[in-house]
Structure 1
């Protein structure tokens, strides 16, 4: 059975791509046929031929070592470093939910596991014109459980709780929280971990320190996260 997992976060630049790369790497290094997918990615640079290169996809490919062609990873690539809905207003090519689903399903047919990364935080407009597409629409369309990436530092209790409440309101399945930039033994960050679990009822399943090359989750743990009704 093809399995997928969606990686979202409490905001922009909290380490979603970094954590996603570690998850993909763990599966790949453990011998599992794994792909990466991100529906829409903004803030990308052009190569010498003038082609937009999806930076997040390139990063995940480099860190994880997967052989997946980069042009199969992101169906919508924008140059401006803004939300996809705004980038598409000036650059064209607004996101079509059917295209996202089709591209994801193509990967599911070719690879056993697909790790999907969201854009921005959980409240992210993907398209906002005559059609309204929010990030939760992508998650629901792909029918995936989600893991939340959060910074371990000051203010994360508020961000994590609000993210979890929003996801609950919109019917999104939460499988766990991963803390990034975690400093083991730091009193505040250890308490943040405890309080986030206590208030939300969602477990912190891993803590990643700066520049970690591996994640404490096993490949089997990650696979269980992607399975409906399973936990680790």
Structure 2
């Protein structure tokens, strides 16, 4: 597997993964790295991926050829639920070979691929196969999205411990400031604590702020 694929996950469904993914892709493109985003499994849509739509808006670009061919959204299910449940309700299994082949094609065409998961790292893809299993099998480095909301410290540390227990490399933590929190005391201390934790336990990992800018 080429080492230009980064798996984007986070503390939960509302961590702002899609927002962070789009902005990181835009930043990398501006730095000269041809970057594309892909959604591992999209649920709650029919025939398109709302997360890819958001990525492209934030990246300031139209749909690509790879979008139109479905490589960036290889598996779409109609029910807005965890992939294992959405697949069951649509009465068809997730085609993991199709996903992996689409990712391979993108990694050959672009300098970097941001592969956004669904929910957090322990979200089930099938009854006995978790997102973290998928990440570990493919040896993807992780970009982990957390936020300033109350509870983020607990959810972040639990997730990072799970990554370390699986020997999964943490590439960076993206601290999502969108939407802007009313309580800046909690927001600022949460960021301070997570930064200190990374310095002690994941010294090789990067840290970036995802600014609270408008989607359009």
TM-score normalised per structure 1: 0.79
Which 5+ residue runs of structure 1 have no aligned equivalent? 47-51, 214-232
Shift of 1:23: 1.0
Aligned residue in 2 for 1:198: 196
Paired position in structure 2 for 1:210: 212
Q: Distance in 1 between matches of 2:171 and 2:32?
A: 23
3-state secondary structure, aligned to 1:126: strand
Paired position in structure 1 for 2:139: 143
Specify every segment of 5 or more residues in structure 2 that has no aligned partner in the other structure, as ranges: none
State the match for 1:166 in structure 2.
162
Whether the 8 Å contact between 2:117 and 2:131 is mirrored in structure 1 is yes
Q: Counterpart in 2 of 1:98?
A: 97
Q: What SS does the aligned partner of 2:120 have?
A: coil
Specify the alignment match of 2:22 in structure 1. 21
| 1:204 CA drift (Å) | 6.3
Name the stretch that deviates more: 152-161 or 67-76: 67-76
Q: How does 1:1-232 map to 2 (within 5 A)?
A: 3-44=4-45, 46=46, 52-64=47-59, 65=61, 67-70=64-67, 71-128=70-127, 132-181=128-177, 186-200=184-198, 201-202=201-202, 205-211=207-213
Q: Assess, with a 3 A threshold, how the Cα gap between structure 1 residues 189 and 24 changes in structure 2: closer, same or farther.
A: same
Q: Is the 8 A contact 1:122 1:163 kept in 2?
A: yes
TM-score normalised by length of structure 2: 0.84
The alpha carbon displacement at 1:145 in A equals 0.7
Paired residues of 1:7 and 1:116 also in contact (CA < 8 A): yes
Distance 1:199 1:59 in 2: 31
Cα deviation digits, residues 32-54 of structure 1 (max 9, x gap): 3222112211111x4xxxxx211
Cα distance change of structure 1 residues 158 and 2 upon mapping to structure 2, 3 Å threshold: closer
Q: Alpha carbons of 1:209 and 1:63: their partners in 2 closer, same or farther (altered >3 Å)?
A: closer
Relative to structure 1, the CA distance from residue 10 to residue 110 in structure 2 (aligned partners, 3 Å threshold; closer, same or farther) is same
Q: Distance in 2 between matches of 1:19 and 1:91?
A: 29
Q: CA deviation at 1:3?
A: 1.1
